[in-house]
Structure 1
Amino acid sequence: MSQSRANATERAGSTGMPGMRGIDHIGITVPKLEEAVEFFVNVLGCEAFYELGPFQFADDWMQRQLNVDPRAVMRRLRFLRCGHGSNIELFEYEAADQKLVPPRNSDVGGHHLAFYVDDLHAALAYLREKGVRTLGEPIVRTEGPSAGQTWIYFLTPWGLQCELVSFPGGKGYEKETERRLWDTRLPGR
């Protein structure tokens, strides 16, 4: 193990949950699994792996284990790998109390997936050619801890908020400390 990796592991393990290494995957519920997999694979370039399901239980297992309606059916789930980042687990559920409108960033539980790209403008042009809805125009940070970063949000066909982000020369905070956020550009560090 490299010294920088050992130091990162040591820092991560020095406080908090024993043995925590990082985020393995992010789970997202989608309205139609096949359409979501198609978007993540054929538009964004993720790689599809295995699929499981359906899961349905006569007792309260779904409520006890997953905090969903006890009669909910997890029709299917599929794991994807997206470049050098975390894996994504896509779920398709059927539940009587299911909400069909994705949360906004400002809602409790709001979220977005950020995809690092080497050339934000080329990636943005590509998404627009594919008919993907983008929100506003790219934001370029020139000052503060995020200086050097450019970003823009886009929406999947079902409304999941996503972001393109790029900072090929690093970020401003890096001038102030030797500590680093995990960086998609350098996944082994």
Structure 2
Amino acid sequence: MSEIQPSSWPDGLMNTVAKSTRTVCEHFREESTMSRTCKGIPGARSVHHLAYTVPNLDQAVDFFVNVLGAELLYRIGPVEDQTGDWMTRYLNVHPRASTHIAMLRFGPVSNLELFEYTSPDQRRELPRNSDWGGHHLAIGVDDVDAAVDYLRSVPGVKVLGEPQTITEGPIAGDRWVYFLTPWGMQMEVLHTPRGMPYEKDTDARLFESSEPWA
């Protein structure tokens, strides 16, 4: 089991971490050309869902339900407009694009929406983390090493190296590792202990579920 030492972190990372206690509003006031006010969306209650486009909806639903423990809520589709431009105006895709959709309950507070599109101008390469639009979906677990053992037993899953433990900075103690789904989507399992150093600088806390969902 390896550890990330501060000396091995990129030069700019610790400077970025040092700024992490600034509020989002402070960031926009100092660096954005957008409105200098920061009040949030009126009536906002939660992040309702995250959404990802996948190559094969059946495969993705099966993986999230039977491997990761999500619950399928519903499926709809096709969503399309064969003659007009509704898809472009409302979804910012090619007017002849068509999609099928599945909504999953993913853990105690997260909803996950999956899309499978066909489109005349579809790009099929998945973004890397370094690309614009790069992303990953992270799952908090009790034991990262046990999660890795489980994931390595699943055909098609690729775990990227060994679990890493952060030893310095506001999230010291965070243990994590990335993995790829069978279709190449980037995901992560991690464990964040209580009493992390960042908690000394803010009353806000990362959300942590009190009970495992699987």
TM-score band by shorter chain is 0.7 to 0.9
Give the SS at the match of 1:52. Answer: strand
> Normalized against structure 2, the TM-score is what?
0.76
Matches of 1:144 and 1:47 in 2, distance apart?
Answer: 36
**Which of 151, 162, 166 does residue 137 from structure 1 map onto?**
162
Deviation at 1:170, TM superposition (A): 4.3
List structure 1 segments (4+ residues) > 3 angstroms apart after TM superposition.
Answer: none
**Which of 199, 202, 205 does residue 177 from structure 1 map onto?**
202
1:149–1:170 contact (8 Å) kept in structure 2: no
**Which of the pair has the greater relative contact order for Cα pairs under 8 Å at 6+ separation?**
2
Unmatched 5+ stretches in structure 1: 1-13
Instruction: Name the residue aligned to 1:89.
Output: 113
Matches of 2:121 and 2:109 in 1, distance apart?
Answer: 32
Unmatched 5+ stretches in structure 2: 1-37
Matches of 2:186 and 2:166 in 1, distance apart?
Answer: 20
Matches of 1:170 and 1:26 in 2, distance apart?
Answer: 28
Give the SS at the match of 1:151. Answer: strand
Q: Percent identity?
A: 53
Give the SS at the match of 2:66. Answer: helix
Q: Is 1:34 matched with 2:58?
A: yes
Deviation at 1:73, TM superposition (A): 0.8
Deviations 1:47-67 (A, max 9, x none): 111010011112000000000
Q: Is 1:120 matched with 2:135?
A: no
Deviations 1:124-155 (A, max 9, x none): 11000113201121110121111121111000
Instruction: Name the residue aligned to 1:162.
Output: 187
Q: Is 1:48 matched with 2:72?
A: yes
Deviations 1:42-99 (A, max 9, x none): 111111110100111120000000000000011x110011112421101111001111
RMSD: 1.6
Give the SS at the match of 2:160. Answer: strand
| More displaced 10-residue stretch of structure 1: 78-87 or 167-176 | 167-176
Instruction: Name the residue aligned to 1:23.
Output: 47
Deviation at 1:186, TM superposition (A): 5.0
Deviations 1:164-184 (A, max 9, x none): 011133422013322223x13
Instruction: Name the residue aligned to 1:147.
Output: 172
> Normalized against structure 1, the TM-score is what?
0.86
Matches of 1:186 and 1:19 in 2, distance apart?
Answer: 27
Matches of 1:100 and 1:170 in 2, distance apart?
Answer: 42
Deviation at 1:109, TM superposition (A): 0.7
Give the SS at the match of 1:174. Answer: helix
Looking at CA atoms only, which structure, 1 or 2, has the larger radius of gyration? Answer: 2
Give the SS at the match of 2:80. Answer: coil
